[in-house]
């Protein structure tokens, strides 16, 4: 990235700040769905509508942690010739307009093949605050941690309903926020979340002050209200991607409306 981008870049807010005195609403979308220009517009619109952090999905050919809704978004983005380089350029443009924390969500292969040093250096240059890599478990993250931290990128820890005896080991080293997976399976809208989140959250709180955001399956304001009573933040992906799939180029308004409604539901 060029020095010009550096010069115009807005200094970003830290991830931890968004949880300081409120419950956070975290919105996910897939970069390049339906186009990178639209992704830029959607990010800014959701930010203005009340989103506190945006997760930007770097599309991958084989997103094994995703359900059909986000998987289809990955396919649409790749069909539109979205690449990691073009996504960095898009983020650099977004960074000239907003200070909202931005986090990448992608799989380990696009990061590894791009080159770890090159990838995280670019993240720092364009102002990415963190990264979520579903197929990089605790045992393997040592490979990227030092490089990511050297470039001020938090590697977000995922905790699942099946983590059980692993919870405290995972939580102890978490930075940025903890992504608590609400239910088993892949991403996608669910009518009911059965996991005993309160018990897991209690285990996490015993070892860390790092904020906890809950994702997977959350779509309605009612669900958002319920989750926000337990956790520090609510993450919504598939429901947003579905709005984009349905409205395409014209999704900006419905997205703003949805994010505003969801943010207002947090207590």
Residues of this chain that interact with another protein (CB under 8 A) are 60-62, 64-65, 67-68, 71, 75, 78, 83-85, 108-114, 134-140, 142-143, 158-166, 170, 181, 184-186
The CB-of-62 to another protein minimum distance in angstroms stands at 5
Shortest CB 154 distance to another protein, Å: 16
Residues 6 or more apart whose Cβ sits within 8 Å of residue 146: none
Phi and psi of 188, rounded to 5°? Answer: 150, 160
Nearest C-alpha neighbor of 84 from the set 1, 176, 188: 1
What SS3 state is found at 59? Answer: coil
Please give the Cα distance from 199 to 168 (Å, whole number): 12
Q: Do β-strands 233-236 and 102-105 pair in parallel, antiparallel, or remain unpaired?
A: unpaired
Q: Pick between residue 83 and residue 124 the one whose CB is nearest to another protein.
A: 83
CB nearer to another protein: give 63 or 233.
63
Provide, rounded to whole angstroms, the least separation between the CB of residue 56 and another protein: 15
Task: Choose between 69 and 266: whose C-beta lies nearer to another protein.
Answer: 69
d(Cα 145, Cα 154) in Å, to the nearest integer?
8
State how far the Cα of 244 lies from the Cα of 70, in Å rounded to an integer: 11
Q: Which CB, 96 or 140, lies closer to another protein?
A: 140
* CB nearer another protein, residue 4 or residue 142: 142
Q: How far is CA 135 from the centre of its chain?
A: 15
Smaller CB separation from another protein, 214 or 265: 214
Least distance from C-beta 55 to another protein, angstroms?
16
Smallest distance from another protein to CB 212, Å: 14
The position carrying tokens 């010069």 is: 7
How would DSSP label each residue in 123-165?
HHHHT--EEE-TT--GGGTHHHHHHHHHTT-EEPEEE-TT-GG
The CB-of-209 to another protein minimum distance in angstroms stands at 21
**How many Å is the maximal CA-CA distance in the chain?**
49
């Amino acid at each position: 990235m060029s020095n010009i981008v550096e010069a115009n870049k807005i200094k970003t807010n830290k991830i931890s700040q968004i949880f300081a005195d409120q419950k956070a609403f975290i919105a996910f979308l897939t970069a390049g769905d339906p186009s990178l220009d639209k992704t830029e517009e959607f990010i800014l619109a959701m930010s203005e509508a009340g989103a506190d952090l945006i997760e930007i999905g770097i599309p991958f050919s084989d997103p094994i942690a995703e359900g059909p809704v986000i998987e289809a978004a990955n396919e649409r983005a790749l069909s539109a010739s979205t690449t990691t380089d073009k996504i960095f350029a898009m983020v650099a443009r977004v960074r000239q307009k907003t200070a909202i924390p931005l986090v990448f969500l992608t799989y380990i292969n696009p990061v590894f093949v791009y080159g770890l040093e090159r990838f995280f250096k670019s993240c720092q240059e364009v102002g990415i605050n963190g990264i979520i890599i579903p197929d990089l478990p605790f045992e393997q993250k040592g490979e990227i941690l030092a490089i990511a931290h050297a470039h001020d990128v938090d590697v977000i820890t995922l905790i699942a309903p099946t983590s059980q005896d692993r919870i405290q080991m995972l939580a102890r080293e978490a930075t940025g926020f903890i992504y608590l997976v609400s239910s088993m399976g892949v991403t996608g809208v669910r009518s009911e979340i059965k996991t005993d989140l309160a018990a897991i959250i209690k285990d996490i709180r015993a070892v860390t002050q790092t904020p906890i955001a809950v994702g997977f399956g959350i779509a309605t304001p009612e669900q958002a209200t319920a989750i926000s009573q337990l956790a520090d933040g609510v993450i919504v992906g598939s429901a947003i991607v579905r709005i984009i799939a349905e409205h395409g180029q014209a999704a900006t308004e419905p997205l703003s409306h949805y994010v505003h409604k969801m943010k207002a539901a947090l207590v």
